[in-house]
Structure 1
Amino acid sequence: MYSLYLFDLDGTLVDTAPEITDATNALLASARLPQVDEALVRQWIGHGTRELLAQAVAHVSGRAVDILRGDGTLDALMPAFSLHYLEHCGRRSRVYPQVEAALDGLRDRGARLAVITNKEERFAFPLLERHGLRDYFQLVVCGDTLPAKKPDPMPITHCLKRFSVSAAQAVFVGDSEIDVKTARAAGVACWAVPYGYNHGRPIQSAGPDRVIESFAELVEQPERRLLLID
């Protein structure tokens, strides 16, 4: 058993794609731009809200993403998007099955729990609060908490230092190639769920140390896991 469990948020703990799609389409409608499908939004989640918005606007306008990132368009749109997202935050997202039971089990065993997400603090904290998850975690590191975000290892190394835990005592649970790269860069194990947002690719292709079908596997006894392998 690890002493520190680090968790990604979107696509790992909570399925947020429906409400992110709602917020994105509300913004696009206000700008008289076409709507986008939820399936596309699921492919854009993972790099933070600003990048998701860049992808959405590029898709419906035909403009190049690289140009949008630097021409001031996103600076003009982000305040309105923030209002739309805060309005929709927690409305249509849902906590994945077995998440709360697993967090209860890990906490009961004395494990320390933290969230590492590229979502900005103004969105991450309300989301955790509205789903009753905030109190499970002793630390939440967001995309704007530190000078660097995933896939930079800084968020993980920050947690290791904060809890005085070695890399060998920690595991990062995520859903994407970004999470696997972050864990590798920090020297910690990475377990991945197959149901999240990995840009349309199977998570196995990212090479995590282990793929867990559900959060229930986080609290299974080692003996039971061996029996399942047999």
Structure 2
Amino acid sequence: LFDLEDTLIQTPWSDFQRVIEFRHKTREKLLALGIPSNVLEGIERATLMRNKSCEYVEKNFSKTESEKFHRELGEFFSRYELDSARNSKLFPDTIPTLEKLRNLGVKIGLVTNTSMQAVNIAFQLHGLKDYFEVIVTREKVKQLKPNSEGILLAVQTLKAKDFFMVGDLLFDVLAAKNAKGISVFVKRNSQEKDDPPADYVVYSLSEVSAIVEEKIRRK
């Protein structure tokens, strides 16, 4: 299983100033949509704000209010997601890695916190669609990574017993661990000091196929 943004494709999210702005705008939007400020207190990450807010909505909003909340929040996220996809670049190690894994007979899936529309744009731009047997986007789950819901859905769909989750964020590692899988952290910036508690840390996707092949050999 792969994450998409900044794992398979490079996106504008690598600009930390953009991330800070997005977090600020997300908080503003959630407050405007009726989420009490104390629900978001102490939460910095936009994904965690979204997850916490969805929990609150499920318990406290009527069906009509909930539908309006999810529709408007989805529209808000889409503006950022689609811009990110349209301005993405393919990492040079992505397709060679996917080819190697396909040649090994490995089932390949995508679990991403972005939308299906953004995935379709990225796939069309970079020719990635045919590599994936399952795609889990934010519309298919209640809780985004680091929650394991999306990964478990993908694993169930693929009827897989074991799996690897490859991603560039701590959330990918935590989601894999929460789902009892093997986590592979892609550390493209070797200057970063801290590594998350992943089973494997790689500096290029090209290292992934060898890890998977070794696991297959041991079976």
TM-score, normalised to structure 2, is: 0.69
User: Aligned-pair distance for 1:155?
Assistant: 1.1
- Match of 1:112, SS? coil
Choose which of 38, 49, 69 in structure 1 pairs with 2:30: 69
User: Aligned-pair distance for 1:135?
Assistant: 1.1
Aligned to 2:198: 208
Aligned to 1:27: none
Gaps of 5+ in 1: 1-5, 22-37, 45-51, 59-64, 225-230
User: Aligned-pair distance for 1:222?
Assistant: 8.4
Structure 1 position 39 matched with structure 2 position 16: yes
Aligned to 2:149: 154
CA distance in 1, matches of 2:158, 2:73: 38
Choose which of 83, 92, 95 in structure 1 pairs with 2:90: 95
Structure 1 position 219 matched with structure 2 position 214: no
CA distance in 1, matches of 2:197, 2:169: 10
Q: Label 1:77 to 1:188 Cα distance change in 2 as closer, same or farther (>3 A).
A: closer
Aligned to 1:57: 25
User: Aligned-pair distance for 1:100?
Assistant: 0.4
User: Aligned-pair distance for 1:72?
Assistant: 3.0
User: Aligned-pair distance for 1:57?
Assistant: 2.9
Gaps of 5+ in 2: 35-68, 215-219
Aligned positions of 1:20-31 closer than 5 A: none
Do the aligned partners of 2:7 and 2:168 also contact (CA within 8 Å) in 1? yes
Aligned positions of 1:129-148 closer than 5 A: 129-148=124-143
Do the aligned partners of 1:89 and 1:126 also contact (CA within 8 Å) in 2? no
Choose which of 163, 177, 181 in structure 2 pairs with 1:170: 163
User: Aligned-pair distance for 1:158?
Assistant: 1.1
Q: Deviations over 1:64-116 (max 9, x none)?
A: x3x54121399778647746764x45543111121100100100111000000
CA distance in 1, matches of 2:205, 2:155: 22
Q: 1 or 2, which has the higher helix percentage? A: 2
Do the aligned partners of 1:176 and 1:203 also contact (CA within 8 Å) in 2? no
Aligned to 1:181: 174
- Match of 2:164, SS? strand
CA distance in 2, matches of 1:221, 1:146: 29
Q: Label 1:13 to 1:176 Cα distance change in 2 as closer, same or farther (>3 A).
A: same
- Match of 1:219, SS? helix
TM-score, normalised to structure 1, is: 0.66
Aligned residue-pair number: 178
- Match of 2:140, SS? coil
Do the aligned partners of 1:173 and 1:192 also contact (CA within 8 Å) in 2? yes
Q: Label 1:81 to 1:148 Cα distance change in 2 as closer, same or farther (>3 A).
A: closer
Give percent identity, aligned residues only: 24
User: Aligned-pair distance for 1:148?
Assistant: 2.5
